[in-house]
Amino acid sequence: MWGLALVLTLLFLKGLQGQDSAKRVVGLSGTCLRLWPPKTLAKNIESVQWKRPGPSPSEFSVILTWKCESDHCKDKNWTLNHLNKRFGFITQNLSLTIQAAQQQDSGFYIFEATDEHGKVKNYTFQVSVFDHVGEPHVLQDSKVLEGGRCQVTLSCSVPSGDNVSYDWYRGSVLIETARNHSTLEDQIDANSSHIYTCNVSNSVSWTNRTFILHCPGDSQRKWSTLGSNRG
Ligand SMILES: *[C@@H]1O[C@H](CO)[C@@H](O)[C@H](O)[C@H]1NC(C)=O
Ligand SMILES: *[C@@H]1O[C@H](CO)[C@@H](O)[C@H](O)[C@H]1NC(C)=O
Ligand SMILES: *[C@@H]1O[C@H](CO)[C@@H](O)[C@H](O)[C@H]1NC(C)=O
Ligand SMILES: *[C@@H]1O[C@H](CO)[C@@H](O)[C@H](O)[C@H]1NC(C)=O
Ligand SMILES: *[C@@H]1O[C@H](CO)[C@@H](O)[C@H](O)[C@H]1NC(C)=O
Ligand SMILES: *[C@@H]1O[C@H](CO)[C@@H](O)[C@H](O)[C@H]1NC(C)=O
Ligand SMILES: *[C@@H]1O[C@H](CO)[C@@H](O)[C@H](O)[C@H]1NC(C)=O
Ligand SMILES: *[C@@H]1O[C@H](CO)[C@@H](O)[C@H](O)[C@H]1NC(C)=O
């Protein structure tokens, strides 16, 4: 029974994902997100609902219902079905707003519009809320190899490294791009110095660290950061 429900839910979510009309909305946690219906929406809309898929395919949790009550739809009479005050509604363009978005607000949202003939149209939104990329923890190590070369290992890991990408630069040249891969291995000439930078980013923010690497490193200069920036 539960197995079947799970399978149906997965099929349903797969169906939603498969809708190439699902509009992707990406936001930074703590900020206000707006989901707006397409501009092509018919003018003769009588009522709309914003909802989220529930635990089973036929279940929805209704965030709000708006009904046009007067003839000209001027006094847009809308009712919030949800007690969560973080949701809001912009009557002019039927947009849903999410105040101070959080990661758990990520997922699918459905906008259902009913026109004066009772015809229903759905629009699906896929929302992803990301946190700021955290402060990177930088480590570096170097090892002298045969033949006047040096093996360097650099690491630039962030606390909650979910879905972050790492761009590595030597000087200003991009040398490696890796998703979910915080460590760089490189070889340089012995007795040389190089400037490396890691840029850790997700869809909404990034931070970079620049540091000088001497090989072989002496204990005083084992590692030194030049500076940092974030965006
Ligand atoms: C809005 O609609 C509700 C129920 O649909 C109704 O009880 C209420 O009187 C309406 N408000 C206005 C201002 O028309
Ligand atoms: C929707 O309306 C709000 C408030 O009038 C406005 O700030 C926003 O830009 C509008 N969005 C679109 C897509 O028209
Ligand atoms: C989409 O609209 C149809 C009517 O066209 C309705 O029966 C169905 O429940 C809606 N689906 C969702 C996911 O809201
Ligand atoms: C690096 O410097 C050391 C000490 O100055 C020297 O002995 C060594 O030959 C140098 N190696 C290279 C590859 O220049
Ligand atoms: C991570 O990013 C990929 C691609 O941008 C996306 O498909 C996936 O849903 C994301 N995962 C999470 C947990 O945000
Ligand atoms: C990142 O890599 C770690 C270890 O390899 C893994 O446990 C984690 O699931 C990965 N995260 C993503 C979002 O791919
Ligand atoms: C790191 O960020 C600073 C500030 O935006 C920028 O000037 C610098 O070029 C960045 N470094 C790299 C290698 O992208
Ligand atoms: C870091 O990477 C992000 C995503 O690719 C990019 O938007 C940002 O400009 C980069 N920052 C620097 C300083 O290169």
Q: Quick one: pLDDT at residue 18?
A: 43
Residue for token pair 């000088």: 212
- pTM confidence score: 0.69
Say which ligand is closest to the CA of 95: 2
Between vectors from CA 160 to CA 141 and to CA 171, what angle results, nearest 5°?
Answer: 40
Distance CA 21, CA 62 (A): 21
Mean of pLDDT over the chain = 81
- pLDDT tens across 152-206, in order? 999 998 887 668 899 999 999 998 887 767 899 999 998 889 999 999 999 999 9
Residue for token pair 């209704």: 62
CA of 180 to the centre of ligand 6 (A): 6
The domains of the chain, with CATH numbers, are 2-130 (2.60.40.10), 137-230 (2.60.40.10)
Q: When comparing pLDDT for 59 and 77, which is higher? A: 59
Residue 92 CA: which ligand 2 atom is closest?
2
Residue 169 CA: which ligand 7 atom is closest?
13
- Say how many C-beta atoms besides its own lie within 10 A of residue 50's C-beta: 25
Q: Identify the helix (H) or strand (E) that includes residue 107.
A: strand 107-115
165 near 201, Cβ under 8 Å? Answer: yes
Residue 207 pLDDT exceeds 90: yes
